[in-house]
Chains A and B, each alone.
Chain A
Amino acid sequence: MYRSHVLVCGGTGCSSSNSQQIIDALETEIAAAGLADEVKVVKTGCFGLCALGPIMIVYPEGSFYSEVKPSDVPEIVQEHLLKGRIVKRLLYKETVQENNVKSLNETNFYAKQHRVALRNCGVINPENIEEYIAVDGYQALGKVLTEMTPQQVIDTILASGLRGRGGAGFPTGRKWSFAAANQADQKYVCCNADEGDPGAFMDRSVLEGDPHVVLEAMAIAGYAIGASQGYIYVRAEYPIAVHRLQIAIKQAREYGLLGKDIFGTGFNFDIDLRLGAGAFVCGEETALMTSIEGHRGEPRPRPPFPAVKGLFQKPTILNNVETYANVPQIILKGADWFASMGTEKSKGTKVFALGGKIKNTGLVEVPMGTTLREIVEEIGGGIPNGKKFKAAQTGGPSGGCIPAEHLDVPIDYDNLIAIGSMMGSGGLIVMDEDTCMVDIAKFFLEFTVDESCGKCTPCRIGTKRLYEMLDKITRGEGTLEDLDKMEELCYYIKNNALCGLGQTAPNPVLSTLRYFRDEYVAHVVDKKCPAGVCKHLMQVTILTDKCKGCTLCARTCPVGAIEGSVKVPHVVNQAKCIKCGACIEKCKFGAIVKK
């Protein structure tokens, strides 16, 4: 029996900052101290506070160590594990108080969070099915198969109010009931783990931290709609997630939780993986199924909807990873429990991947209806370097920018649509006053131009034209008429594109035009970029009264654009300057400015 468990994050973020080396060092040091029978090292999924990785939690004390280096390990073993003295200097700052150590759940980052989909991430070893079983894993599947009819399962999901977490927010129970109502010799259950939005990583974290929850939920869905085969479509760029899914599927088969005659009820269900090559459009449901079938991943018109004719022309349901991660809890704790969280039309919680100009980058799960201000200022710890909040981008390339005036809107599906953005899969990128909104719109359009599959004209050509207009504006060559034309083109693309990719691609442009039109106008009329981002619209100049002629800038400039001799104020040759800003950073006298 172990008296202490040391949990080390093995998610992608912490792995890339060498958490595996820490695990290896721990095991060596623990063995050397003769503690191998007393202390167990567990590699878990993501704890959420990625900004402070690699992260380690030592139980039973619950000590939360952040930014741990392999060289810290001997001290942790000798002091904490052997002698019981917590290594204070490594503790997450916020948990350290005068005389005692605050519990992690009381820190700003965790206090407002409510973990349902992420409940096992950072708690169990995802590569060991018994740890999942220990926290009631597969109990929901057992309950469904032995005590409930398929219709009762669907009714429970309907009553819970669960809506799809993949973006559109379609009621999950409705989707299941459509597929259940269609008779066929074969039906399929698919899981969308493509997660193509730039900046989003919640689905990856669920798969890495708690893969069995997805398998269990898919089997429950299979029972509900009458399917015996499931597919998980996961991008090959997620090697840790793929690896853990492979292990999970193998173990579930060995334990008879996938395969034939599960729980002796005659129900058969199996799951296979399909790896995607990382095309954004393959996250769209019809393109995803086309890709599983072995064809080039292109969307097709709907109807027929997948519930009627989906994968291999058979009735199919497709749900997002996070959607599935809620299902077993709903079965075990009941629809009322789930529906008690959230807002009137958006129940439960939502996981957000917090990124951009924010202190606590990472993964947070909050009840629907939490305000953006709570997420940014309290959980996220605010914006670094004393800068001001300008906007938050949600919904990735299909979403929009939310300005400061809407910081207090409770976040749910419908409110986000009303303010011109959308939930999307849950990426949340915070921007400060140094961000140019025209440049942001251009960034997302560049992404959609790249990712457009080319099948329909409005998307293939329309997004390209839209991008060109944005580019023209950032060069200071746009006209006010262009702004109107651009808006018209946005609506044309929205109304005519074949799939969701094109239909939502103009959103970043429309939302920035709506809230930050003055910035567009500044680019067009004043030929200025107020945030100082667009290179064509600014100049780097040296203030003669402040320049001491130290020559540092001239030596720093990578293109030799700064001229002048020692002790004489220097000047920038605008024809050569590439506006990289290297000189500004180097100048000790604050004599160089960008405007």
Chain B
Amino acid sequence: MKSLEELKAIRDRVKNNVTLRKEDADAIRVVVGMATCGIAAGARPVLAAFTEEVAKRGLTNVMVTQTGCIGICQYEPVVEVFQPDGKKTTYVKMTADKAARVVTEHLVNGKVVEEYTIGSISNLK
């Protein structure tokens, strides 16, 4: 170790490896539906894409996790984003590419990607 900068560089490189282990009430939660229906519809690559993108951008305030079936199997893969203020957004028929866009627009810039939400895709509304 030749300098403090060198140590700081190592810390910055490995810091994200342990941030997952903090319980943070103020985090944005990204919840991917991973029941049988979700997995069959391709939820695994979606989950992986969220994990990758969040790590790549060093977003320490985002927690990516899974849940079981939420009952709208025809719209799987379903992803719900919970903001600390209680606001919930439900994205449906997700893919890895769509996940990347949600990370950039919604998680980083705070703009919901309306066209992927359940409101735009289903004709329920």
Contacts and interface: CB of A to CB of B under 8 A. Distances in A.
A48 B43 CA distance: 37
Interface residues of B, number: 36
Interface stretch (B31-39, B99-107, B112-120): B31-39
A84 B1 contact: no
Contacts of A198: none
Nearest to A123: B21
Contacts of A262: 1
Contact of A1 (B3, B11, B31, B52): B52
A276 to B, nearest CB: 31
B87 interface: no
A6 to B, nearest CB: 11
A38 B39 CA distance: 15
Contacts of B47: 3, 38
B7 A142 contact: yes
A59 B11 contact: no
Nearest to A103: B23
A104 B17 CA distance: 21
Interface residues of A, number: 37
A105 interface: yes
B2 A61 contact: no
B64 interface: yes
Contacts, number: 92
Contact of A84 (B3, B11, B20, B66): B66
Interface in B11-57: 11, 14-18, 20-21, 23, 31-36, 39, 47-48, 50-52, 55-56
Nearest to A104: B23
A352 B105 CA distance: 49
SS class of chain A's interface: helix, strand, loop or mixed?
A: loop
Contacts of B92: none
A26 interface: no
B1 A257 contact: yes
B65 interface: yes
B4 A62 contact: no
A134 B39 CA distance: 34
Given A3-B51, A83-B39, A139-B11, A124 B18 contact: yes
Given A3-B51, A62-B23, A133 B66 contact: no
A263 B3 contact: yes
A131 B17 contact: yes
Interface of A: 1-5, 7, 38, 59-62, 82-85, 103-105, 123-124, 130-131, 133-136, 138-139, 142-143, 146, 255-257, 262-264
12 contacts: A1-B51, A1-B55, A38-B48, A38-B51, A62-B23, A82-B34, A85-B67, A105-B23, A139-B11, A256-B2, A263-B7, A264-B3
**Interface pairs A-B: 6 shortest CB-CB:** A84-B66, A256-B1, A3-B51, A1-B55, A142-B4, A134-B14
